[in-house]
Structure 1
Amino acid sequence: MLRRTIKNGLKPSIIRFCASTAGSASKPMKKIVDANETTATGQYINQVSKPYTVTTYARPNLVLTHGKGSYIYDLENRKYIDFTAGIAVTCLGHSNEDISSIISDQSKKLIHCSNLYYNLPAGELVSKIINKTKESGGLHNASRVFLCNSGTEANEAAMKFARKYAKQQNPNKIEFITFENSFHGRSLGALSLTPNEKYQKPFSPLIPGVHIAKPNDIESVKSLISKDKTCGVIIEPIQGEGGVNTIDSNFLIELRKLCDENNVILIYDEIQCGLGRTGKLWAHSYLPKEGHPDIVTMAKALGNGFPIGATMITDKIESQLQVGDHGTTYGGNPLGSRIGSYVIDTISDTEFLNEVNEKSTKFINKLTEIANENNDKILKIKGKGLLLGIQFKSEVDINKIVENCRQYGLLIITAGMNTIRLVPALNIGNDAINEGLEILEQSIKEYK
Structure 2
Amino acid sequence: MMCGACSNENAFKQCFMAYRNRERCPPGSFTEEEKTSCMTNCPPGSPDLTILSFQNAFHGRTLATLSATHSKAIHKLDMVAFKWPMARFPQYCYPLDEFKCKNSEEDEKCLAQVEDILCQYKKGNRPVAGIIIEPIQSEGGNNEASPCFFQKLQKLAKQYGAGLIIDEVQTGCGASGKMWCHEHFNLECPPDIVTFAKKMQISGYFHTEEMTAKETYRIFNTWMGDPGKVLLLEAILKVIQKDNLLCLVQKTGQKLKCGLLELEREFCFLLDSTRGIGTLLAVNCTTPQLRDEILKCLKQKGIQCGGSGTRSIRLRPALILQEQHADIFLDRFRSVLQCIK
**TM-score of the aligned structures, taking structure 2 as reference length:** 0.81
* 2:196 aligned with 1:310: no
- Structure 1 residue ranges (4+ consecutive) displaced by more than 4 angstroms after TM superposition: 170-173
Structure 1 contact 154–309 (Cα < 8 Å) conserved? yes
Which residue pairs with 1:180 in the alignment? 55
> Which runs of 5 or more residues in structure 2 are unaligned?
24-43, 91-106
1:421 matches 2:314: yes
Structure 2 residue aligned with 1:256 = 154
- The whole-number CA distance in structure 1 between the counterparts of 2:218 and 2:321 is 41
1:149 maps to 2
Where 2:216 maps in the other structure, the secondary structure is coil
Residues 161 and 321, structure 1, Cα contact 8 Å, conserved in 2: no
Q: Distance in 1 between matches of 2:48 and 2:111?
A: 21
- Equivalences for 1:78-97 in 2 at 5 Å? none
Structure 2 residue 15 is the aligned partner of structure 1 residue 162? yes
Distance 1:387 1:335 in 2: 28
Tell me which of 214, 217, 228 is aligned to 2:89. 214
1:202 paired residue number? 77
The question of 1:378 aligning with 2:231 is answered no
Is the aligned partner of 1:231 residue 2:129? Answer: yes
2:143 matched residue in structure 1:
245
Deviations 1:288-329 (A, max 9, x none): 3416310000111112xxxx21111110111x3421112121
Q: Once the two structures are aligned, what percentage of the paired residues are identical? A: 28
Q: CA deviation at 1:208?
A: 2.7
Instruction: Please tell me whether residue 337 in structure 1 is matched to residue 235 in structure 2.
Output: no
Cα offset, 1:386, TM superposition = 0.7
Q: Distance in 1 between matches of 2:230 and 2:264?
A: 41
Match of 2:283 in 1: 390
Structure 1 residue 379: deviation in Å? 1.5
Compare relative contact order (CA 8 Å, sep 6+) and give the higher one, 1 or 2.
Answer: 1
Alpha-carbon contact 1:256-1:292 (below 8 Å) kept: no
Q: What amino acid maps onto 2:193 in structure 1?
A: I
What is the SS of the residue equivalent to 2:293? helix
Asked if structure 2 preserves the Cα contact closer than 8 Å seen for 1:167 and 1:174, the reply is: no
1:348/1:293 CA distance change after superposition, 3 Å: farther
- Kindly tell me the number of residue pairs found equivalent between the two proteins: 296
In 2 relative to 1, CA 339–187 (structure 1 residues): closer, same or farther, beyond 3 Å?
same
Matched, 1:411 2:286: no
- Separation of aligned partners in 1, 2:151 and 2:281: 23
For 1:291 and 1:396, how far apart are their aligned partners in 2? 43
Alignment of 1:260-339 (within 5 A): 260-290=158-188, 292-303=190-201, 308-318=202-212, 320-339=213-232
Task: Determine which structure has more spread, i.e. the larger CA radius of gyration.
Answer: 1
The residue identity in structure 1 corresponding to 2:55 is E
What letter corresponds to residue 63 of structure 2 in structure 1? L
- CA distance change for structure 1 residues 201 and 156 in 2, over 3 Å: closer, same or farther? closer
- Listed one character per residue, the Cα deviations across residues 56-112 of structure 1 (whole Å, up to 9, x for unaligned) are xxxxxxxxxxxxxxxxxxxxxxxxxxxxxxxxxxxxxxxxxxxxxxxxxxxxxxxxx
C-alpha RMSD over aligned residues: 1.9
Match of 2:326, SS state, is: helix
CA contact (8 A) 2:66 2:76 kept: no
Structure 1 residues 324 and 266: CA distance shift in structure 2, 3 A = same
| Partner Cα distance (2:261, 2:156) in 1 | 36
Equivalent-residue separation in structure 1 for 2:258 and 2:84 (angstroms): 44
If the length of structure 1 is used for normalisation, what is the TM-score? 0.63
Could you tell me how far apart the structure 1 residues matched to 2:241 and 2:191 are?
20
- CA–CA distance in 2 between the matches of 1:426 and 1:392? 25
Counterpart code for 1:212: A
Deviations along 1:171-211, one digit per CA (max 9) or x if unpaired, are 65611110111110111111110023513542332123333
Q: Report deviation, 1:282.
A: 0.8
Structure 1: give runs of 5+ residues left out of the alignment. 1-147
| C-alpha spacing 1:157/1:441, structure 2 compared with 1 (3 Å) | same
The 5 Å alignment of 1:53-132 reads: none
CA positional deviation for 1:271: 0.9
